[in-house]
Amino acid sequence: MGVTLKDVIKEAMEFLGGEGTIEQVRSFIASNYGPRWKDVGVAMADLTFPGSKSSTYPEKERFLERIGRGRYRLRVQAAISKEIFLLWRRRTVSDLWGELLGVFNNDNLAFEKIRGEKAIEYHVESWPLNKFNPSDSEIYYCLEKTRNGIIK
């Protein structure tokens, strides 16, 4: 599947530092992709949260907020990870939770912290940001390890 206008608008907004006008986005698109899209302003309005009911984009895909006439910025929710990762170290094999070593917005950062350690001592949980509730943990990562139990 090729690049979409939505993707190009997001790329332009990131290039502009997260905030810009329709004209700035239009200029970025024209210089990087040519005159392929004409309806940039309408698409930006449709990508605004909560935006118009007539928008063809579902609310969860809308990543802009209108801050003035013809001026938009990336929504904070669009710029951050959609889940968090909790890294735990067990003190004993029977200790389910143990010590919380960190909360990360990227699973690679969590795994990097424990690379080379014994897998039996650690576990990582993943939580959607909008549903974080420590009392009903459901999602776990299986740590990738060597034959002798060392985390890769």
**Structure tokens given for 99:** 């010590």
pTM: 0.51
Rg (CA), the chain: 21
Give the domain ranges of the chain: 5-79, 83-141
CATH fold for domain 5-79: Arc Repressor Mutant, subunit A (1.10.10)
- Confirm if 29 and 7 have CB atoms less than 8 A apart: no
* Mean pLDDT for the stretch of residues 42-46: 92
What span, in angstroms and rounded, lies between the C-alpha atoms of 21 and 16? 9
* Mean pLDDT for the stretch of residues 6-10: 91
pLDDT at 88 (0 to 100): 76
pLDDT at 22 (0 to 100): 95
What span, in angstroms and rounded, lies between the C-alpha atoms of 90 and 94? 8
